């Protein structure tokens, strides 16, 4: 059972007045991975986020052919700021479906349901788990699985899993991207919003997300949260136990030293992350191991990239790449070496 999400394309992403790209990863991810469908962006005055696509007013977006407005940014806690609501109501009244992957339900926002009825459009909440999720069983399943884990949230787990799936399919190998968060679900069109699942059912939901499969099939599971995060570690634990990963890839943004938004909480080293992930994952899969490191080097001068990648590789003995620069080929090579079919 999967939560199948569908919304109409083409669409525009809405960033409100967001200042920090970290909290705009949904819109940025959609512009990156669905470029043919994302025709533009809409923002309020003071917005500091730019997805690199045309900028429209709501009326201009409708005139350009947009059929949906996707809320591409979120505040901590998944709420919608009050000053965004008038723009969402205007979009609905103009005839744009409004799509969100937030914890708050769109229909609960003042005036939005009435505006949607007036415009004859849908309010689509992506972050809604399906009913009837089971408690985790711990039963060993057939097939192979890889889970991306991170030193923090929003450090490259989704992009890495997408890139790994694309590389596996390019090589003619059996692979599926398994989405666990709102952006991944919007990109893939299917998945389970793990961070919206009641805690008792997290591992069961992760088991459903990565079901029995053929022996040579890989699920590339999008990681969520972070094991050293004081607010969002629980979903990572559920994924490590429930997906029973055979392999993990450790993800990190170079230059980030503290948990983003949680001052005073230092990030772990890559080795600390690997050790803790392997310890927790071994509860349901004793052979779990790390097969690579994925670095987000977007804030690193280009002249320093190669030396940084080489240093991480030398310290860990693992292939180390930036998936959006040189791709993930070396990690897939290591994966196939560690787990020959």
Within the chain, which residue ranges are assigned CATH 3.40.50.300?
144-338
User: In the prediction, which pLDDT does 33 show?
Assistant: 87
Domain range 144-338, CATH architecture: 3-Layer(aba) Sandwich (3.40)
Which pLDDT does position 2 carry in this prediction? Answer: 47
DSSP secondary-structure letter at 254?
A: T
Parts of the chain belonging to CATH 3.40.50.720: 11-125
Predicted local distance difference test score (pLDDT) of residue 4: 57
Top-level class of domain 11-125: alpha beta
Tokens of 329: 């080929």
Record the tokens describing residue 278, joined without a space: 């392997």
- The Cα-based distances of 243 to 41, 117, 226 in angstroms read 35, 40, 16
| C-beta neighbour count of 328 within 10 angstroms | 27
- The pLDDT value given to residue 106: 95
pTM metric for this prediction:
0.85
Look at phi and psi of residue 192 and say left if phi exceeds 0, alpha if psi is from -120 to 50, else beta: beta
Please answer whether residues 28 and 183 qualify as being in contact, where contact means their C-beta atoms are separated by less than 8 angstroms. no
Q: What is the Cα–Cα distance from 313 to 5, expressed in whole angstroms?
A: 38
Backbone angles phi, psi at 203, to 5 degrees: -70, -35
Strands in 38-42's sheet, in edge-to-edge order, are 38-42, 11-14, 68-71, 97-100, 123-125
Over its length of 341 residues, how does the chain's per-residue pLDDT go in tens digits? 445 567 888 999 999 999 888 789 889 989 988 999 999 999 999 999 999 999 999 999 999 999 999 999 876 556 889 999 999 999 999 999 999 988 889 999 999 999 999 999 999 998 888 889 999 999 999 999 999 999 999 899 999 999 999 999 999 999 999 999 988 988 888 889 999 999 999 999 999 999 999 999 999 999 999 999 999 999 999 999 999 999 999 999 999 999 999 999 999 999 999 999 999 999 999 999 999 999 999 999 999 999 999 999 999 999 999 999 999 999 999 999 999 97
The predicted structure's pLDDT at residue 15 = 95
């Amino acid at each position: 059972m999967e939560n199948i999400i569908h919304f109409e394309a083409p669409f525009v992403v809405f960033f409100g007045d967001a200042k920090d790209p970290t909290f705009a990863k949904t819109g940025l991810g959609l512009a990156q991975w669905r470029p043919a469908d994302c025709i533009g962006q809409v923002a309020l005055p003071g917005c500091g986020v730019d997805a690199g696509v045309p900028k429209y007013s709501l009326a201009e977006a409708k005139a350009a052919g947009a059929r949906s407005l996707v809320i591409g940014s979120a505040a901590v806690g998944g709420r919608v700021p009050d000053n965004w609501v008038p723009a969402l109501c205007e979009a609905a009244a103009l005839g744009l479906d409004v799509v969100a992957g937030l914890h708050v339900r769109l229909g609960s926002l003042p005036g939005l349901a009435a505006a949607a009825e007036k415009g004859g459009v849908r309010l689509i909440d992506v972050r809604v788990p399906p009913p009837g999720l089971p408690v985790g069983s711990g039963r060993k399943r057939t097939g192979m699985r890889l889970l991306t884990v991170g030193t923090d949230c929003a450090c490259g787990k989704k992009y890495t899993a997408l890139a790994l799936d694309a590389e596996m399919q390019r090589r003619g190998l059996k692979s599926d991207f398994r989405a666990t968060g709102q952006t991944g679900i919007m990109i893939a069109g299917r998945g389970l919003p793990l961070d919206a699942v009641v805690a008792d059912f997290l591992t069961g939901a992760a088991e459903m997300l990565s079901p029995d499969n053929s022996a040579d099939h890989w699920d590339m599971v999008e990681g969520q949260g972070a094991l050293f995060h004081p607010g969002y570690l629980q979903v990572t634990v559920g994924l490590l136990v429930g997906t029973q990963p055979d392999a993990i890839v450790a993800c990190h943004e170079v230059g980030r030293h503290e948990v983003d938004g949680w001052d005073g909480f230092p990030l772990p080293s890559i080795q600390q992350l690997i050790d803790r992930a392997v310890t927790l994952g071994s509860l349901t899969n004793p052979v779990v191991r790390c097969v690579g490191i994925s670095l987000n080097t977007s804030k690193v001068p280009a002249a320093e990239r190669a030396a940084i990648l080489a240093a991480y590789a030398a310290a860990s003995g693992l292939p180390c790449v930036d998936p959006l620069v040189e791709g993930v080929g070396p990690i897939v090579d290591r994966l196939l070496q560690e787990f020959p079919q």
